[in-house]
Structure formats: structure tokens, C-alpha cells
Homo-oligomer: A and B are copies of this chain.
Amino acid sequence: MNTRVSIQDVAQLAGVAVSTVSRVLNGYRDVSEETRAKVQRAVEQLGYRPNQAARTFRTGKTQSVSVILPMIGTDFYNRLINGIDQVLALHDYDAGLFPLLSPRRLERYRNPSAPPYNADGLILASLNPDRLFEGGQIPADLPTVLVDIAHTAYDSVTVDHIEGGYLAGKHLLERPAPTFVVMIEERFDTPFASGVFRERLKGFQRALEEDSVKLPKDHVITVEFSWDGGRLAAQEILRRLEGPANIFATCDLLAQGLIDEFAHKGIKVGGEVRLVGYDDQPWAEAYGLSTVKQPIESMGGLAANLLLKRIKRPPAEVIHRVLSPRLVVRESSRV
């Protein structure tokens, strides 16, 4: 009974050809006002809505792009998605989000016919295509932009983590003191590992080297990516010394753990102990945490723009955009 109403039915009811209906629907102008009205009346009367699948099939366009990302819910991805979405909306594109919520999903998205690839373009956030696809490849004809990660074969937009670490280093150097870096232990057997923490460390070291300050190997403390990791790091540092210290936490979550643990021991971060985090999480301001802030929305917006460009124009050469982070100085590190 409920056989979907097609463009044929509309044409028939309106007493015109299907091609005419199509022209009306797509707003072409070589249709007289009269027929246009007739068609529109028929459309409404039948409650016709075009079969999107057929349309996509014929035109090869969906007016949408997919975003594959490791997860959702973190401040980072929220901001990234917002940046992407705003630009896309501006250009009348829609965005479908495909978070890799489970290993099973990951497996499914290795299939090059999976829904995410059924769009005009693809944004891959923080995901290395080689690791995501193991043996395979991203469909070659699918315009793709990487974000938060670089790859020689694809357009990318990233933030310079070396520069971020460098900024933190230079800033902490303003007041000499024993210096520590709290690192993340990354597992490199997942598609999620990015190596950005190492880059932040590298930039930090570079800053110190420029001033001929040495960072002893055992002042780099490696912990897990968690609040508890930060707390453990703080305990470790307290075990090693008393008195002033400069600490660079390679992410804010760690910094939070550090602050809380220091507070627990009666030490207020911001005096003797200076601390700089990384990310500028929403709570960082309330915590008075100095931190390296990344232009995440811009990153998303740029990626979207790049992608749209790639979708519209024939291929060009691979483009890499590297954005600069910014140091936000708050009480936790003021000299």
C-alpha cells in the first residue's frame, strides 16, 4: 500500500514530464510560472519527497562529509567538531560524525564501502590512515583531509607541538629551578597514538638547550594518561626534592592531578612550584593553570575549508597547514 511516491507520480498528476518536475525541484529557470505552480501543487498534494539515494546515485554527490574520530566527549573533539561544523554549515554541507567507539567499529570502518566513506569527503581526526586501514587504503577518489595528525599523502591541518613545548620551556626558564617534564606513556599499537607528547617534550628540550640548561633523563617522568598519573608524578617529584621546581605537564589532565596532589601535601602550585600544562581545558582558568592553548576550532575550520576546496576543484598538490599554539600564563607559573 505504502509504495513510495516517485517523481513519476508527480509528473503524472501534474500532467508534465518527469524532466520538468526535476527542473522545478532543482530550481532551474526555464520553466514557466504556470507549470512550476502546477508541479508544486502536485508535489504537495502527494507529499512527495525526492529519493535521496537515487539522487546521490545519479549525481554522485551527497552534500555531506564524514568525520571519523577516535572518540567524542572530550573538550578537544568538541571544539574541533564545532570548528568543522561551522564552516561546513556555511557552505551548505552536512557533517556526519563517526566515532570509533569500539574495536568492532574500527573493524567495520576498515571496509571501504562502510557508511563513512559514502560522502563527498572525509575528515580524519587524530587518526593515522595507515594504521586505521592496516593493509588497505582510504578510497583513492574520496577527498580526504587529516586533522591533528600529518601524513605525506594527505592534506593535513595540525598544531605545532614542538613549538608548544618550546613556549612552555622558554616561559619556565624565566625563573631557574630544577625542571621536570611529566610525559604520557603512549601505546603505539593502536590507530590512536599520535606521538604528540614526544614532540612537546622535544620542543621543551630545545628551549632549554638554547639556554644551555640540561634536562636530566630522570627528570622526565612517564605516567599513564589519567588524573592519577598526575598525582603519581607529583609524589615522585616530591620524593626527589624539596624547594622550588619548574614542571611541564604534557597535558592538562596530568597537570590537574599534580595540582591536586600538591594541594593535598599543602603545597600551592604557583609559588615555589611552577607548573605549565597543555590543552587549556575548560577548567584550567578556574584552576589558575598556565597552559599551552591550541587553536582547535581554527584547526577544524581550516580542515573543512581545505576539504571543500578539494571537493570542488580537481586535485592539486598535497597541502599541509601547521598552526601555532599560544601560551596562556596564569597563576600556576607566574614569576
**Residues of chain A having any CB pair with chain B under 8 Å:** 2, 4, 49-57, 60, 62-64, 66, 72-75, 77-78, 81-82, 85-86, 89-90, 92, 94-99, 101-102, 104-105, 108, 112-118, 139, 141
Q: How many Å lie between the Cα of A72 and that of B99 in the bound state?
A: 11
**Contact partner of A105 among B55, B62, B85, CB < 8 A?**
B85
Query: Shortest Cβ distance from A64 into chain B, in angstroms?
Result: 4
Checking B62, B86, B96 against A98 with a beta-carbon cut-off of 8 angstroms, the contacting residue is B96
Tell which of B57, B85, B101, B102 touches A54, judged by Cβ atoms closer than 8 Å: B57
Assembly CA distance A114 to B52 (angstroms)? 8
Q: Check B72 against A115 for contact (C-beta < 8 Å).
A: no
Q: A78–B72 contact, CB under 8 A?
A: yes
Residues in chain B near residue A56, CB distance under 8 A: 53, 56-57, 118
* B89 in contact with A98 (CB, 8 Å): no
Contact B63 A115 (CB under 8 A): yes
This protein's copies in its complex: 2
Report Cα–Cα, A108/B50, bound state, in Å: 16
Besides the contacts A49-B112, A50-B113, A97-B99, what 4 more A-B pairs have beta carbons closer than 8 Å?
Answer: A53-B62, A63-B115, A89-B108, A94-B108
Q: Would you call B57 and A115 a contact (CB within 8 A)?
A: no
**Distance (Å) between the CB of A192 and the closest chain B CB?**
17
Q: Which listed residue (B2, B60, B114, B116) contacts A53, Cβ 8 A?
A: B60
Q: Most B CB atoms within 10 A — which of A82, A94, A115?
A: A115
Q: Are B96 and A97 in contact (CB under 8 A)?
A: yes
State whether A101 and B81 are in contact (beta carbons under 8 Å apart), knowing that A112-B49, A115-B94, A139-B49 are contacts in the complex.
Answer: yes
B51, B101, B115: the one within 8 Å of A85 (CB): B101
A57 contacts across to B, CB distance below 8 A: 51, 53-54, 56-57
A96→B99 contact, CB < 8 A: no
- Looking at the assembled complex, report how far the CB atom of A101 sits from the nearest CB atom of chain B, in whole angstroms: 5
Closest chain B residue to A66, Cβ basis: B96
Q: A208 to B89: give the CA distance in the assembly, Å.
A: 49
- In angstroms, Cα B90 to Cα A101, docked, is 12
Which chain B residues lie closer than 8 Å to A78 at the CB level? 72-73
- Closest residue of chain B to A72 (Cβ to Cβ) is B72
Q: Is the CB of A94 within 8 A of B72?
A: no
Q: Which of B85, B101, B114, B116 contacts A82 (CB 8 A)?
A: B101
| Known contacts A97-B72, A97-B99; is-contact A105 B81 (Cβ 8 Å) | no
19 sampled A-B residue pairs with Cβ under 8 A? A4-B141, A50-B113, A53-B57, A53-B118, A56-B56, A62-B118, A64-B115, A72-B81, A73-B74, A81-B101, A85-B99, A85-B102, A85-B105, A86-B101, A89-B105, A94-B108, A94-B114, A95-B98, A96-B115
